[in-house]
Structure 1
Amino acid sequence: MDYYICRHFRKIMRFSATVKLQLIVFLWGFTGVIGKLINLNAVPLVWGRILIAELFIFIYICFYTKESLLISKRLMLQLLGTGTIIGTHWILFYGAIKISNISIATATLSTGTLFAAFLEPIIFRRKLKITEILLSIIIIICIGLIFKTEVKYWKGIIMGITCAFLSALFSVINGYMSNKGASSVITFYELLGGFVILNFFMFFEKNWMAIANIERIDILWILVLGSLLTSFPMIATMNLMKYITPFTVMLSVNMEPIYSILIAFIIWKDTEAMSSVFYISTTVMIIAICINGYLKTKNKKLSI
């Protein structure tokens, strides 16, 4: 009797975690929207986002998890270096939004799976799978169609693809680093690395005046972006991983571009309306990515 109660309880917890994850991904869909609303360039915008997120995670560690922030110098340097990748990734993401639109930036971000398919075998020293090659061909064709029909946004497309490469590189390296300490501590140092590289960008591009003259409404949006849309989802996702599989997380995260595109279209129909080829190509990419994720998980289960 106790066994069936525990089993039923686990099912309820998994269902609850899946619903919460969808809400988190839906929140992530607003990151591009908020970025477009903020009247700052990409560099000061990301500088503010990381600063707020880092402060919230620091408070979370100090007052909730109470984990030690003391780690080895080698691990610290590795995490700081990894953080520079995510910091640069966010600059390119918001840069793509500023010079094109949210639809282009989020659609091209889906190509991160293409880069991950080639980066994982290199870092984890495994063979490239046929399904990953087929996925890569599908994504390349879809991006080619988007580029052809939306050529006026070519700068945003290139910036978005570069952003996706850094996202994939960060994810693969992060997967390698994830077992080297507590998730919240790893995230803290990675964000710190992102904040350090942002300060260099701020210095060389002389963006400090933009921060000094920031409008009150932009301060509010950055607070929302750094807390509700960055630190909170990162911490919440860590906790949800106790009840759901990485595949469920991956499958859910692939909904982010769809949410972003729909939200942006509702708010800015004139500037976010794209060609039918764009929407078809984006949908095909996301479906292909989900199928690839499903096949990967199925193969892992069969090999156990």
Structure 2
Amino acid sequence: MTTSEHTAFDFAAAESILLQACRLVGLHPDEVEMLRLGDHAVFRIDDGQVVSRVGRHADRLPSVRREVAVARWLDAEGYPSARLVTQAEQPVVVDGHPVTFWEGLADGEQYASTHEMGELLRRLHGLEAPRFSLPDLRPFDKVEQRLERAVIRAETRAYLADLAEELAAQYEQLEFALPPGHLHGDFNVGNVLHDSEGDPKVIDLDGFATGPREWDLIQTAMYYDSFGWHTEAEYADFADGYCFDVRQWSGYTVLRSVRELLMVTWLAQNAGTNPRAAEEVEKRVETLRSGGSRRAWAPF
């Protein structure tokens, strides 16, 4: 029985798993700090010298193994991305939870510029595909898995499930403008950080898949026009860096709605242990129902 099957995956549970994994690889941290809790718990160890990712469920193991393969592929290609801590065989598995250890990039989170993001994404999409296989992008699988486990109101769960079914039908009808290929899968400003030398690097490599390239462009666009987290000039710099503006594509609003659904269900995973997250989920669902502004969504 794994930890995730008999206890909540909260800070205390994730930290316990992390400390066990540290002992297995010979790390003896003086300090650990949780950065965020979602599909993984992400920890900064000893002022950011090492960053660790602890998988929420045992079913994360295949994607984490793929993440390790992706990291090695990108390293061999000389692409600027997160690097594994080399002294450990990875992933480490504790009570079924996969744990990985990464080189820290800098003190704190220093985000790349949107132009750097666009250039890095164009460069990533331009790489020759890896020799190992990547799964097809299946965004609605995550929605289903999250809703099965989320501690939320039955009415909320039913609404989100119905919305997912509706959007899945629309998604299947989309005609994409860009050629398909390998994807980062979760490309946004939070996943492109400057290292200690001031150079941008791409992190969070576990979502790599094969599918429409528009998927990697959508978050930066919606962070601008739905949430106001980027300025108009910043978004223009991103589109210029990538050499394509996904907001001008006919399927943009459908893909944006799919991403919004994923944002809500991602947060719903924490509703059972975090009252603030539970409240935010209900607020977000109300805006989805009413068509209201997303600018009141609080970042998590």
Determine which structure has more spread, i.e. the larger CA radius of gyration: 1
Q: Which has the higher strand share?
A: 2
Structure-1-length-normalised TM-score: 0.27
Bigger relative contact order, structure 1 or 2, given CA contacts below 8 A and separation 6+? 1
Q: Which has the higher helix share?
A: 1
